[in-house]
C-alpha cells in the first residue's frame, strides 16, 4: 500500500475539519527502530523514581504525574549535553515506556480489592465474606488485617492477573493492529489526536539542534506555564502535607464544590469547578464541535435537573447533598436510563455508518477493477514495506488462540456461566465493537460501547450469584488502541519497537508495582485521612458497583436497586431524541461530531467541562482567526506537551518529599 498512488485512495471523510487533522503531519516514508538502550534506561528511571510518586499522588488527589514527558525532557537534555541528539523514534518509544511504567502498575487494583471486600456497601447487601478467594482474600485473613501483599492468600489472584495481562497484551496488539490497517491505511481516517504525542516527541527531538525551532520554543513556554500553575495547584499541598497534619490547598482538590450553595436556585443539580489550566489548553486542541456537544449536554442536564425534581422524578435527592451524592442519586432516578438511550442511539449510528462506508468502499473497488481489467485488484491485506508490519492472518490467528485461552480461564472461574456467551464476546462482539471504535477514534477521537451489554448478558444467562461480576469475562473494546499505531507511524517508528518495549514493560511493571504498593499499603491503611481523594471516592464507587451486582442476586424479580433504576420510558425517549438530533444535523450538513460529544457529558458533572469549553471557544473564535486553523493545530499539541512536563516536575518534587517523610517516620529509630 505504501507504493499506491495517493489519488487512488478513497477518503471516506465527509467533514473538512477532520481532513485537516489528517494533514497536520505528513506520513513519513522511512521508518526506524526506536527501542534502544535509551528506552530500557527510561523504563528503569520511570519505574524506580516516578511510579511511587504517581501512586501517592493518585491516592491523595486522584491525579497523576506527567511522568512520560518528565522522563523525555530529562533524557533529551542529558543526550544533548552528551553531544548526541535522540531520534524522534527513540523519543516516541520512550514516551510509551515511561507512560506505562508510571501509572501505578497492576497492583493498584489489588489495593482497591482489599477495600471493596471489606466495604460497607458489600456488607449492606449481605455479601461480606462471600466474594470468591480468586478475587481477593476473605475479610479476617491475615493478608488484610496485616495489610500485606506478601501473603499466600494473594497467590491465586496474582497468578490470574499475570496470566490475563500477558494474554490480554497479545490480544490487544494483534486486533488493534488489524483495525489500524483498515481504518488508517485503507479508509484514510484522520485520527485527530494522534498528532499530539507525535508532535511533542518531535519537538524534543529538535531540542538538540543548534538552531532552536518554533516547536521547542512552544514546548518551553508550555513547560513554564506548567511549572507556575503546578506549583500553586499541586506543589503547595504536597509540601505542606509532608510537614503538617492537614495540607494547605490554595486551589481546591479535586474541585471546588458549590452544590450546597446553589441548591436553592438549582435544586438536585451538581455545580462546581475544576480549576486546571491543563483542561483549558486541552479544550483548544480538541475538535470544537465535540466539545460543544458536551457543553450542550451539560446545559441540558442543569436545566432538566431542577424541573425533574419539581416534577417528582428525582426523589432520592435531598438538600445538603454534595456533588458526589447528588450525581449518584440523580443517576439512579433518571440519568442512568437517559444515558442508556443516548448510548444505544450512538451505537446504532456507529453500526450504520460503518456498514455504509464499508459498502461504498467495496463498490468503489469493484467499479475500479471493472473499468480497468488489466489493472491488478487492490489487495487490502498487503503489508506496507519498511514499517514493521506483519501478516494480518498471523494477527487473527494469535488473537484467536489467546481468545480461546481466556474463555478457558473464565469457564474455570464461573463454570455455571454459559460458554456460548464467552464465545460470542471473544469472536463476534469484541472484533465488531473494536472496528466501530477504531473508526470513531479515527474520525473524532471519541469511543462508544453498546450500553449495558455486560449486564444484559449476565441477566439473560440466568446466572445467580456475584462471582460473574468479578470474573474476567472478555467483553472488550480494543478499537482505541489503533491510534497508537497512527502516532508511531507519524514519527516514522518501526512497529516492532512497540513489541520489544511491551516485552520489557510487562514484567518490570509487575515487579516494581508489587514492591511499591506493598510498602505504601503496609505503612498505612488505604483509604484513610492521609489520602483524601480515595477516602471520598472509593466508598461512592463501591456503592455504584454493588448496584450492578444486585441484578443477579434476586433472580431478576425487579426488586433490586439495579432494576429500580431502569425506566423504559426515559430510555425510549432519549434514544429517539438522539436519533432525531443526528438525522437533523446530517440533513442540514451540520457537524455530527456534536452528538458524540453529547454522550460524554449527559447527566454528568459540569466541573471539568467548564474550563474545557472556555478553551475551545477562545481557540475557535480568537486563535483560529489570528493564526489559521491548521497552524493553530500544529502549535497547541506542542504547548500542551510542555505544560504536562512542567506540572510533572513540580509534582515529582512534592511527592518525593512525602515519600521521604513516610519512610523516615516508619523507621525503627
Is it the case that residue 515 has pLDDT exceeding 80?
Answer: yes
Q: Classify residue 386: in a domain, yes or no.
A: no
Q: Would you say residue 149 lies in a domain?
A: yes
pLDDT in tens, 45-70: 888 877 877 787 777 767 666 666 66
Tell me how far the alpha carbon of residue 524 is from its chain's centroid: 29
Q: Is 470 within a domain?
A: yes
In a domain, 441, yes or no: yes
How many Cα atoms occupy the beta-carbon half-sphere of 570 within 13 Å? 19
pLDDT at 377: 46
Exposed, middle or buried, 120 (CB in 10 Å: 0-12/13-18/19+)? Answer: exposed
User: How many structural domains are present in the chain?
Assistant: 1
Query: Which residues, 6 or more positions from 27, have their beta carbon under 8 angstroms from its beta carbon?
Result: 489, 490
Contacts of 662 by beta carbon, 8 Å cutoff, 6+ apart:
520, 523, 524
| Tens-place pLDDT, residues 85-119 | 777 778 778 877 877 777 778 888 899 999 999 98
- Least trusted range by pLDDT, from 125-139, 258-272, 285-299: 285-299
Within a domain: 545: yes
In a domain, 88, yes or no: yes
Domain with 110 in it: 6-370+391-665
pTM of the model: 0.73
Q: What angle do CA 57, 59, 63 make, to 5 degrees?
A: 50
User: pLDDT at residue 365 above 90?
Assistant: no
Q: What is the CA radius of gyration of the chain?
A: 25
pLDDT at 359: 67
pLDDT digits (tens, 9 = 90+) for 168-216: 989 988 998 998 888 877 777 777 777 665 665 565 555 444 445 676 7
- 3-class DSSP state for residue 256? strand
Amino acid at each position: 500500500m505504501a507504493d499506491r498512488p495517493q489519488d487512488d485512495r478513497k477518503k471516506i471523510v465527509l467533514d473538512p475539519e477532520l481532513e485537516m487533522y489528517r494533514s497536520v503531519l505528513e506520513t513519513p516514508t522511512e521508518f526506524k527502530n526506536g527501542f534502544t538502550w535509551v528506552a530500557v534506561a527510561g523504563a528503569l528511571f520511570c519505574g524506580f523514581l516516578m511510579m511511587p510518586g504517581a501512586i501517592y499522588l493518585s491516592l491523595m488527589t486522584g491525579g497523576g504525574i506527567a511522568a512520560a514527558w518528565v522522563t523525555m525532557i530529562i533524557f533529551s537534555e542529558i543526550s544533548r549535553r552528551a553531544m548526541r541528539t535522540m531520534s524522534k523514534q527513540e523519543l516516541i518509544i520512550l514516551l510509551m515506556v515511561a507512560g506505562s511504567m508510571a501509572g501505578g502498575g497492576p497492583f493498584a487494583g489489588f489495593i482497591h480489592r482489599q477495600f471493596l471486600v471489606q466495604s460497607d456497601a458489600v456488607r449492606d447487601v449481605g455479601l461480606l465474606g462471600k466474594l470468591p478467594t480468586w478475587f481477593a482474600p476473605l475479610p479476617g485473613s491475615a493478608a488484610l488485617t496485616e495489610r500485606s501483599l506478601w501473603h499466600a492468600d494473594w497467590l491465586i489472584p496474582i497468578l490470574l492477573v499475570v496470566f490475563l495481562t500477558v494474554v490480554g497484551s497479545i490480544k490487544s496488539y494483534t486486533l488493534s493492529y488489524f483495525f489500524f490497517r483498515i481504518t488508517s491505511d485503507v479508509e484514510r481516517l484522520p485520527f485527530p489526536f494522534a498528532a499530539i504525542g507525535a508532535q511533542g516527541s518531535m519537538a524534543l527531538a529538535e531540542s538538540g539542534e543548534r538552531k532552536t525551532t518554533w516547536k521547542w520554543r512552544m514546548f518551553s513556554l508550555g513547560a513554564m506555564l506548567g511549572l507556575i500553575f503546578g506549583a500553586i495547584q499541586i506543589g503547595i499541598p504536597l509540601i505542606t502535607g509532608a510537614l503538617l497534619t492537614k495540607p494547605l490547598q490554595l486551589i481546591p482538590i479535586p474541585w471546588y464544590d458549590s452544590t450546597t450553595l446553589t441548591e436553592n436556585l438549582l435544586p438536585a443539580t451538581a455545580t462546581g469547578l475544576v480549576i486546571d489550566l491543563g483542561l483549558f489548553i486541552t479544550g483548544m486542541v480538541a475538535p470544537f464541535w465535540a466539545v460543544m456537544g458536551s457543553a450542550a449536554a451539560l446545559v441540558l442536564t442543569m436545566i432538566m435537573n431542577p424541573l425533574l425534581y419539581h416534577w417528582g422524578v428525582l426523589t432520592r435527592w435531598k438538600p445538603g447533598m454534595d456533588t458526589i451524592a447528588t450525581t449518584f442519586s440523580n443517576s439512579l432516578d433518571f440519568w442512568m436510563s437517559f444515558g442508556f438511550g443516548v448510548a444505544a442511539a450512538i451505537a446504532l449510528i456507529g453500526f450504520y455508518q460503518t456498514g455504509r462506508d464499508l459498502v461504498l468502499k467495496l463498490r468503489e473497488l469493484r467499479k475500479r477493477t471493472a473499468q480497468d481489467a488489466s489493472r491488478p485488484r487492490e489487495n487490502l491485506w498487503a503489508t506496507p514495506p519498511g514499517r514493521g508490519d506483519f501478516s494480518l492472518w498471523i494477527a487473527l490467528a494469535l488473537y484467536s488462540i489467546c481468545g480461546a485461552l481466556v474463555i478457558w480461564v473464565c469457564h474455570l472461574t464461573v463454570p455455571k456461566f454459559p460458554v456460548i456467551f464467552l464465545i460470542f464476546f471473544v469472536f463476534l462482539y469484541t472484533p465488531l465493537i473494536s472496528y466501530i471504535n477504531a473508526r470513531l477514534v479515527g474520525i473524532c477521537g471519541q469511543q462508544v460501547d453498546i450500553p449495558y451489554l455486560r449486564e444484559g448478558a449476565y441477566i439473560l444467562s440466568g446466572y445467580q450469584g456475584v462471582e460473574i461480576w468479578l470474573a474476567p469475562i472478555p467483553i472488550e473494546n480494543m478499537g482505541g488502541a489503533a491510534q497508537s499505531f497512527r502516532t508511531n507511524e507519524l514519527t516514522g517508528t518501526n512497529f516492532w519497537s512497540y513489541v520489544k518495549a511491551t516485552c520489557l514493560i510487562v514484567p518490570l511493571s509487575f515487579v516494581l508495582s508489587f514492591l511499591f504498593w506493598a510498602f505504601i499499603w503496609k505503612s498505612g491503611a488505604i483509604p484513610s485521612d492521609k489520602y483524601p481523594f480515595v477516602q471520598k471516592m472509593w466508598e461512592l464507587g463501591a456503592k455504584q458497583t454493588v448496584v450492578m451486582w444486585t441484578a443477579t442476586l434476586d433472580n431478576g424479580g425487579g426488586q433490586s436497586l439495579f432494576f429500580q433504576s431502569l425506566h423504559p420510558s426515559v430510555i425510549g425517549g432519549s434514544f429517539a431524541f438522539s436519533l432525531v438530533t443526528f438525522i437533523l444535523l446530517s440533513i442540514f450538513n451540520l457537524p455530527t461530531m456534536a452528538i458524540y460529544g453529547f454522550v460524554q457529558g449527559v447527566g454528568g458533572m459540569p466541573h471539568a467541562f467548564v474550563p474545557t469549553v472556555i478553551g475551545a471557544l477562545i481557540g475557535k473564535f480568537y486563535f483560529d482567526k489570528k493564526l489559521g486553523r491548521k497552524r493553530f493545530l500544529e502549535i497547541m499539541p506542542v504547548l500542551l506537551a510542555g505544560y504536562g512536563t512542567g506540572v510533572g516536575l513540580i509534582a515529582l518534587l512534592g511527592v518525593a518529599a512525602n515519600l521521604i517523610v513516610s519512610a523516615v517516620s516508619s523507621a525503627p529509630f
